[in-house]
Amino acid sequence: MEKTMVGKTLFVSGGTRGIGKAIAYAFAAKGCDIAFTYASSSDTANEIIADIENRYSVKCRAYKLDILEPLTYKDVYKEFDKDFDRLDYFISNAIISGRAVVGGFAPFMRLKPKGLTNIYTATVSAFVVGAQEAAKRMEKTGGGSIISMSSTGNLVYTPNYSGHGTNKAAIETMIKYAATELGEKNIRVNAVSGGPIDTDALKAFPNYEEVKAEVVKRSPLSRMGDATDLTGACIFLCEENSSWLTGQTIVIDGGTSFQ
Query: What residues act catalytically?
Result: 161, 168
User: Is residue 16 involved in binding ligand NAP (CB under 6 A)?
Assistant: yes
User: Is residue 20 involved in binding ligand NAP (CB under 6 A)?
Assistant: yes
User: Is residue 68 involved in binding ligand NAP (CB under 6 A)?
Assistant: yes
- Strands lying side by side in the sheet with 249-252: 60-64, 33-38, 9-12, 89-92, 144-151, 187-194, 249-252
Report the residue number, 4 or 97, with the smaller CB distance to ligand NAP.
Answer: 97
Name the residue whose CB lies closest to ligand NAP. 18
Min dist. Cβ of residue 259 to ligand NAP (A): 16
The residue from 39, 156, 170, 216 that contacts ligand NAP (CB under 6 A) is 39
Report the residue number, 109 or 167, with the smaller CB distance to ligand NAP.
Answer: 167
Min dist. Cβ of residue 140 to ligand NAP (A): 26
Report the residue number, 142 or 208, with the smaller CB distance to ligand NAP.
Answer: 208
Min dist. Cβ of residue 142 to ligand NAP (A): 28
> What is the x/- site pattern for ligand NAP, positions 109-148, by CB under 6 A?
----------------------------------------
- The footprint of ligand NAP on residues 183-242 (CB under 6 A) is 194, 196-197, 199-202
Residues near ligand NAP (CB under 6 A): 14, 16-20, 38-41, 65-68, 93-97, 149, 151, 194, 196-197, 199-202
